A and B are shown apart, each in its own frame.
Chain A
Amino acid sequence: MPNIIVCYKWVMDDQDIKVNPSTLELTTAGAKYKISEYDKNALEIGVQLKEAHGGSLQVLSFGGANLKNSLKDILSRGADAAFWLADAAADNADAVATAKVLAAAVKKMDPADLILCGDGSADLYSQQVAQRLAVLLDLPVIDNVESLRYENGAWIASRQLRDCVETVSVAGPAVISVLPGIAKARIPGMKQILAAGKKPQNALSLADLGMTADDVQSATKTLSVKGASQQRKNVVIKETSAEASVAALMAALKADGVL
């Protein structure tokens, strides 16, 4: 019976993030937080594997000061217990720093047969945490996984690649990052919600992991964060014939370097 750990991130709800149209600065004041969508799919496949094969299902997160607010939500979605590390160091953590903390935390937890991650987080979406975590834990990693089974102690995963599906298997513990289509997250019902508060919530600190904030340095440096904007050129081509219009369009696209 496999022991499964699902990693999740508590992110700002993108619907609450406003972009100032003139400066492109983001306004995040008052934004609510939620479980990163893809991590819900990772948790759901974890729940389904547990339902099919037994074992345990724990969730793990590294986040900022408000991470505690995620616990009942994540525990209502089928996990047995939560491990969580809230530290201001998470606020600017990139995949390097996050993987380092998660790896140290995983070592504190029951030995896992499978560590599941979502394909990427809803905010940074660097798609690197699973891979970096695997390296730090010296485990095999499988990413882009669209379906996952457990047979005779082995994980059999289908990877969605650009032009083909590759099916691989790995015996023994592995880190697997899954695509959102792997399993539709179910809606937790009243009983799951009301039972969530009674499940174990294990708080960790960097000190518990033998780390300090200095150990959680990001490899990348954020210079600025701006909203994306698309500007329309509003060029209207009004030649007298279709041929002439096409020629004018081609010329304009060439002049712009598009063609």
Chain B
Amino acid sequence: MDFQLTEEHELIRNMVKEFVEEHIKPIAAEIDANHRFPSESIAPMAELGLFGFTLPEQYGGNESDSLSYVIASEEIAKVSASHVMILGAQCTLTTPILLKWAHPDIVADLVPSMISGEKLGAFALTEPGAGCDAAAQQTTAVRDGDNYIINGSKIFITNAEQSEVFIVFAMTDKSKGVKGISAFVVERSKTEGFRVGPPEHKMGMHGSHTSEVFLKNCVVPAKNLLGQEGEGFKIAMATLDAGRIGVASMAVGIAQGAMDEALAYIKERVQFGKPIASNQGIQWRVADLATKLEAARLMTYRAAAMKDSGQRFTRESAMAKLYATEVAMEVTTQCVQLMGGLGYTKAFSVERLMCEAKITEIFEGTNEIQRIVIAKHVLG
């Protein structure tokens, strides 16, 4: 068993750190305060290859492993999880689906422009009536000659506002239940009747907009069906298996970002004539947080390594997501506490990181859903 990252992994970490320092740190608090999507970050992210993880060179990808993605996601999340929302939507939720399930013409057409950042992608599964129960899809797709006609609406869709390429799930055969769900790629600019609503007002993650999507008699070429009719739910679940490793890595980064800030603070802040960090009560808390964070990181890296080695990783990615996101919530909450009143203000990042941590417990399968998945594997 070898717990060593490769030289390449270390270089990737350094590369992303340098990038974050130069491009993201200066805007991280501002985009959040102004609820602004950081469109200026897309081109430099693409240039460094951050949208090409694990994807074939043929389309401009870099054929790295998933662990490389995890490292990049972690480093960016330390400073701005909103940026990881872009990374995650692109690298884990949309481009890989196209590559694996889309018609070859669509792959050749869209995958290169997604890796180059020219087009952004969004994953549209959740509906007002289909949250945790994703199988309760109300959106319908009806075959009409060479097309499908899609009707329905989606809710809470990350980056819908800026995206061109939507993976949309819809019922093609209600009588078959879960097996009646199909997945489509919908190109927004080519689709009449496709509309994106205004952004939701959220607790955090304000640099990434979350919107409703409305599909009214949208005509989508039959070629845009992903896989076969009825394979939609399978595609969604397989995608979320991998996406959860991404959410876990985001959570690890958020937690580490908060720890870094709080540790520096408590070593400097003097009360009762000595730094806060010299109190044993504080030290024990720090030790617990650091230990949990390390465990969360190891679980996340392991799930990624299992994916890279071609093993089944549903159980491990659900465990990593569950644990890492709960650790992120605990660590960020405690870091606010460690920094006292200042921690609760926007003078530092921990307050923002705490709001970012909360969503990691909810999306890509709430932690209750992760527990259901894990229990299924544990109980057999």
Contact = CB atoms under 8 A, between A and B. Distances in A.
Interface of A: 69, 72-73, 76, 187-191, 193-194, 196-197
Given A69-B7, A72-B7, A190 B12 contact: yes
7 contacts: A72-B7, A76-B11, A187-B15, A187-B22, A187-B48, A190-B62, A197-B7
Contacts of B47: 189
B197 interface: no
Given A69-B7, A72-B11, A189-B49, 19 more contacts: A73-B14, A187-B18, A188-B11, A189-B15, A189-B47, A190-B48, A190-B52, A190-B62, A190-B68, A191-B49, A191-B62, A193-B8, A193-B11, A193-B15, A194-B8, A194-B64, A196-B8, A197-B7, A197-B8
Interface size class of B (residues with CB under 8 A): 10 to 19
Interface in B59-89: 62-64, 68
Nearest to B50: A190
Nearest to B68: A190
Contacts of A190: 12, 15, 48-50, 52-53, 62, 64, 68
Interface of B: 7-8, 11-12, 14-15, 18-19, 22, 47-50, 52-53, 62-64, 68
Report whether over half of chain B's contact residues are helix, strand or loop; otherwise say mixed. helix
A189 B15 CA distance: 7
A197 B64 CA distance: 13
A23 to B, nearest CB: 21
Contacts of A69: 7
Contacts of A76: 11
A179 to B, nearest CB: 20
Nearest to B23: A187
B112 to A, nearest CB: 14
A70 to B, nearest CB: 10
Nearest to B57: A191
A71 to B, nearest CB: 9
Nearest to B62: A190
B54 to A, nearest CB: 11
B19 A194 contact: no
Nearest to B45: A189
